Structure 1
Amino acid sequence: MALFRRNPHTEIDPFTDLLFNALLTFTFLFLIALVLLNPPAKTGIVDPKAEFLITVSWPDGNPNDIDIWLSGPDGKQVSYKQPQAGLMHLDRDDRGMINDVQTVNGVEINNPLNQEVLTIRGRPPGEYIVNLHYFKTQQADTSMPQPETEEVPVTVYLAEVNPRMKVLFYNTNVLGKEGDEVTAFRFTITPEGKVTNINQLQKSLVRGEDK
């Protein structure tokens, strides 16, 4: 009677099994490290370089020129005359019909959007004053006499960008004629970086006088 003999090649060595598991663990950790060292690119994500965003807009295709003016805590002003002061930046100055048409590769492209954009890239404490100024009455058809007055509804909003987008103020003002100026809103940033005391107490920035 033949005795059953175990095949030494089929016997599981505990040391080999432990070594194999350790190799699997090391390989897994190595792959995780590669992923962390080279994270996938995040597409479609905008990293805003501002704390506050102020946007002024008026009807698309309207040829008239509306300007935004901003006065900061130190009395410095930002406008088309001075597009940057400290942490305040006028990122877009829209001149109505004047800069609506651009030529790209010999083709004229019309952008009817009327919008001015201003950013505050920090939280310096103090009061900020945002004014709207009806700079110039224009007319799309220059062959026609320009009107003495043309009312323009102007929408303005203040948004806090960080830590998340939040609209703090929104309003529409009607500017009746060329030269009109109105304080759209004021607000104060506290030493702790909080926005408070949003109001519409009037003050002229263009002429530098209280109304």
Structure 2
Amino acid sequence: MLLNDKLKPYRLLLASQSPRRRELMTGCGLPYEPAPKYDCEEVYPADLPAEEVPLYLSQLKSRAWPGPLAPDVILLTADTVVVLDGEVLGKPCGREEAVGMLGRLSGRRHTVVSGVTLRTAERMHSFEARTSVWFRTLSAEEIEHYVDTCRPFDKAGSYGIQEWIGYAAIERIEGSFYNVMGLPIQKVYVELDKFLDQ
């Protein structure tokens, strides 16, 4: 049975304000509803390894859902971070920080890690995806052009692979392209299919 047929008795709620995640869910043909925005303080233990942060935060977001889940609801929460030298590069606070982050990523390999949690009223399942990304060396002028043109202030690591920088600066990737956009949609599809079979 196709996944979309298995989903017919359920309401799949995507708890994310990210337009890119919504675009990926739509592109994959998954019948989802955007969940209403709710409060979740995205904090994690200081000693948590950087690569484990997204999984932790996806579970935190899931548990922060206000009230019990209805029996027919599947809640999908996700978090994506850029990891360089064992450090999480989150969303930049402004232009200067964005330029600085891209200067650090220039000419180097980094890892994009996403954590995803699926939860119903009765059970929860979490998984992750990792993608390695190689940037060529960028000039200061190129970095400033990208930041001023695309204003990547809502993006982990200060860049979006689907924007100019993805075309002009990324030499290669290993792993899911869509993970770098913010959601490993192929793995979401497969894990959701297995989740419904349990």
TM-score, normalised by the number of residues in structure 2: 0.30
Structure (1 or 2) with the larger CA radius of gyration: 1
Q: Structure 1 or 2: larger strand share?
A: 1
Q: Structure 1 or 2: larger helix share?
A: 2
